Every structure is written in C-alpha cells, then in structure tokens.
Amino acid sequence: MLRFVIRRLGALAATLLVSSFIIYAAMYAAPGSPESFLVRGRTVSPEVLASIRVQYGLDEPFLVRYWHWLTGVLSGDFGESLATRQDVASLLASRIPTTLGLTAYAALLIVVFGVVAGVVAGLRGGALDTAVLLGSSVGFAIPTFFAAVLLMSVFAVTLGWFPVFGAGAGLSGRLLHLTLPAVALALPAIAVVARITRTAVVEERDTEHVSVSLARGVPWRVVARRHIVRNAMLPVTTIVGVNVAALVAGAAVVEHAFTLDGIGSLLIDAVQQKDFAVVQAVALVLVAVFGVVNLVIDVLYAVIDPRVQLGGESA
C-alpha cells in the first residue's frame, strides 16, 4: 500500500511537471502580449516598453522564463497578477476556502443522496424505483449552470429562503450561502450516481450467493447490508470518485453563476482578462488537486475491497 502510494505520488509529480510546462507554453503562445496588456492601449515610448519588459523579465528567452516561473512556484511564489498587481499566491489562498467548502458540500450531497437513493431504489423496487429512475433521467439532462439559475429563481428570488449571491459570513451563514450552489453542482452527479448504484444493487441482488444466504434463513436486513450493498459499492466508488474529481473544475460554473469568490470564478475572470499569471497558477492548482483526488479514490478502492491488489496496477 505504502509503496503504491509513493509510486503514484512520484507519477503525479512527473505529470505535474509536464503539465506545468504545457500550461506555461500554452499561455506563452496565446495571442496578446503581456506588455500590451500592461500598458492598456496607451501609447508609450519604446523606452518605457523596454523598461517594462525588463521589469517583468519579458525580454528573456522562453525556457529561462519557464525556469524562473517553475522555481518560483516550487517555493510558493506564483508571481504577480497582471491585472491587479496582487500576489497570485495570496490571491489563491484567499479564494481556495470558498471552493473547498463548495466542493466538499457537493461531494457530501452526492454521496448521501446519490448512493442512498440508488440503494433504496435497488433494494425496494416498485414505485420508489421508478421515481428514482425517472428523477435521475431528468437530473442527468439538466446542465449545472441551468440548475443554478433554476434554483436561484425558485428558492432565492421567488421564495426568498436562500441568499442569491455571495459566500456569507460565519459558519451558519456560509452553509446557508453555499447550499444552493452545492445542490446545483451536485445535481447531475447525484443523478448518475443514483442510477449506477441502483444497477449495481439490482445486479448484486440477483446473484447466487444472495439467494443461498436467503434460502439458509439469513435475515434480509443482514443479507442486504453485508452481501448486497457491500459488494455493490465497488462500481459505486468508481463513479462517485469520477464525479467528485470532476467537481474540482465544475465548481467554476457554479461559482460564476452565484458570483462566489472561489478559484473557479477567479480562473474564468482571469481568462477573460487575459491575466495569464493567474490562469497558469489556478490551472496548475486544479490539475494537482484533481490528481490527488484521483489518487485518494484509488487508495479508497483498496480499503473497501481487500481483493484489489494495488501493487499490480501501475499508473
């Protein structure tokens, strides 16, 4: 287990290194030079332009600049925002808590509602099953951003139960402000997870070991818990993992819709303003978090099912 984790961390570090190069090169290749952004359409003398280039190190060759950036990032220095002159690292630090709260809240909703709905539908069947199936089909087709607008329209504007914008203050305020965004973010994933969980439970319910256990007189509750649900959790872990990992980037849409000050909305704003220092930093952070979440899921997989041999599969 430990060897597996160490090897995967090594692979993740290598991936991050290559990703950082790709991200930096992509921003370098993007049209619109940073110095023209810095002077903001004003006409400046060539001397001023040259001094700006020296000040920001724009006159150095690409690889040298990449090296400076990379070594800076490794020591926690992500550079300076071109738009606001703010330190990117502290900008990130101020934005991350909102995104973290939002994605954790959404992940919780996915696990609780998605898995529970799927298990209940699969075990009980009948009208409840039909309801879950129908609900998941509808939830599946609703894009996150429309779910956000829809929830906002119903619960914030019409009913006034929840605030429309902002992240709120204090723990209860934060929870209240994040509820609608988290539901919007989690909704499509809940639909998928419920659907897959239901299928897994139904398939497991029809296996021979379940029939045998029931025939031997093992109570249904015990069979359901020990044999059906536990075995069905393997595909469920995978699908929950995929969906939770996708929240990392998907949060951007919801943050934009609810004007939450997370790193996702920071990324969108930075792309629109061509503030590439910020884009690079956020992209790298998102790739890193995405990698770590995926690693955690793989480890969880082995914890849930001891039969899974982690050493066997190399990343």
> By the 8 A CB rule, do 291 and 15 touch?
yes
State which amino acid sits at residue 104. A
* Contact pattern for other proteins over residues 180 through 209, marking x by CB under 8 A: ------------x--xx-------------
- Rounded to whole angstroms, how far apart are CA atoms 85 and 82? 6
Q: Which residue in the set 89, 96, 242, 304 belongs to the binding site for other proteins (CB under 8 A)?
A: 242
Among 26, 93, 112, 131, binds other proteins (CB under 8 A): 26
Minimum gap (Å) between residue 220 Cβ and other proteins? 28
Q: Does 290 bind other proteins (CB under 8 A)?
A: yes
* Shortest spacing between CB 308 and other proteins, in angstroms: 15
Question: Could you tell me the sign of the dihedral formed by the alpha carbons of 303, 305, 307, 310, in that order?
Answer: negative
User: Interface with other proteins by CB under 8 A: which range of 35-43, 44-52, 148-156, 217-225?
Assistant: 148-156
N-to-C CA span, the chain: 14
CA nearest neighbour of 193 among 252, 267, 248, 245: 245
Kindly state the number of chain residues that form the binding site for other proteins, as judged by CB under 8 A.
54
- Which DSSP symbol is given to 153? I
Residue from 110, 233, 291, 310 binding other proteins (CB under 8 A): 291
Contact between 113 and other proteins by CB under 8 A: the answer reads no
Question: Which positions ≥6 away from 170 have C-beta within 8 Å?
Answer: none
Query: Which of 4, 20, 23, 227 touches other proteins by CB under 8 A?
Result: 23
Judged by DSSP in three states, 301 sits in helix
Report yes or no: 211 and 228 within 8 Å, Cβ to Cβ.
no
Helix (H, G, I), strand (E, B) or coil at 142: coil
Which of 37, 56, 146, 155 is in the footprint of other proteins by CB under 8 A?
A: 146
- List Cα–Cα distances, 64 to 25, 60, 69, in angstroms: 12, 6, 9
Residue 253 in contact with other proteins, rule: CB under 8 A = yes
Binding site for other proteins (CB under 8 A): 15, 18-19, 22-23, 26-27, 29-31, 137-138, 140-146, 149-150, 152-153, 157, 164, 192, 195-196, 235, 238-239, 242-243, 245-246, 248-250, 252-253, 256-257, 267-268, 271-272, 274, 276, 279, 283, 286-287, 290-291
